[in-house]
Amino acid sequence: MDYADARKRMVDGQLRPNKVTDPRLLEAMRDLPRERFLPPAAIPRAYTDEDIPLPGGRAMIEPMVLARLVQLAAVRPGDRALIAGAGTGYGAAVLARMGARVTALEADAPLLEIARAALPACLPAGTVRLEAADPAQGFAAAAPYDIVMIEGEIPEIPPAFAEQLAEGGRLVAVIGIGRRQGKAVLGRKLGGSLTTVTAFDCATAALPAFAHRPGFVF
């Protein structure tokens, strides 16, 4: 497969027709080798317009949905960004290529292994700080963040993310109840409070780490 041509067709056929207009984002996704962020068996599907299954019941978000989430975050060079549920690191790489200073959280060991190989091959050393940590807790050690992006569907935004977001910061996530009928939301922290608005409908795989945990039954 001619991967460079596949990336160009992804940008021209999936992103541009679906309201993705940020030239830095289009350039990042045209240049980054998405196939490097997949296990070998999934590489032939790297540029399809659908979520790609990953080990552990996870998925790489389809290019159009990821691009619209990143665009919603309005990335500026030098922004401090937190990526929760970073998977194999592709979304983190996109933000880093756009100039953000990225901390990426992932708890799944096989996905981390892929990310640890792919990120140094695609970006300058130290561009992304990859942490093996519970993505639902955020990462207070590097807070506050100008951007928080949660890569996958979640039922609600945990309070930790509002606390770790800088004043004026942006949060992007997909809110849903596990039926692939989610809504992308944009949150802004103003006056110490996080306010969210719905941006667009979308479907993506749920993040298990954010699932509601059953309480005690008496």
Domain ranges of the chain: 3-209
Is the model's pLDDT at 14 over the cut of 90?
yes
How far apart, in whole angstroms, are the C-alpha atoms of residue 207 and residue 84?
A: 10
Mean pLDDT of the chain: 94
For the segment 25-68, what is each residue's pLDDT rounded down to a tens digit?
999 999 999 999 999 999 999 999 999 999 988 999 999 999 99
Is the model's pLDDT at 213 over the cut of 50?
yes
User: What is the per-residue pLDDT for 218?
Assistant: 41
For the segment 72-129, what is each residue's pLDDT rounded down to a tens digit?
999 999 999 999 999 999 999 999 999 999 999 999 999 999 999 999 999 999 899 9
Is the model's pLDDT at 152 over the cut of 90?
yes
For 56-78, b/e burial (b = at least 16 CB within 10 A) is eebbbbbbbbbbbbbbbbebeee
For the segment 28-37, what is each residue's pLDDT rounded down to a tens digit?
999 999 999 9
User: What is the per-residue pLDDT for 1?
Assistant: 84
User: What is the per-residue pLDDT for 153?
Assistant: 95
How sure is the predictor about 179, in pLDDT bands with cuts at 50, 70 and 90? low
Confidence (pTM): 0.94
How sure is the predictor about 217, in pLDDT bands with cuts at 50, 70 and 90? very low
Is the model's pLDDT at 172 over the cut of 60?
yes
How sure is the predictor about 215, in pLDDT bands with cuts at 50, 70 and 90? very low
Topology given in CATH for the domain delimited by 3-209: Rossmann fold (3.40.50)
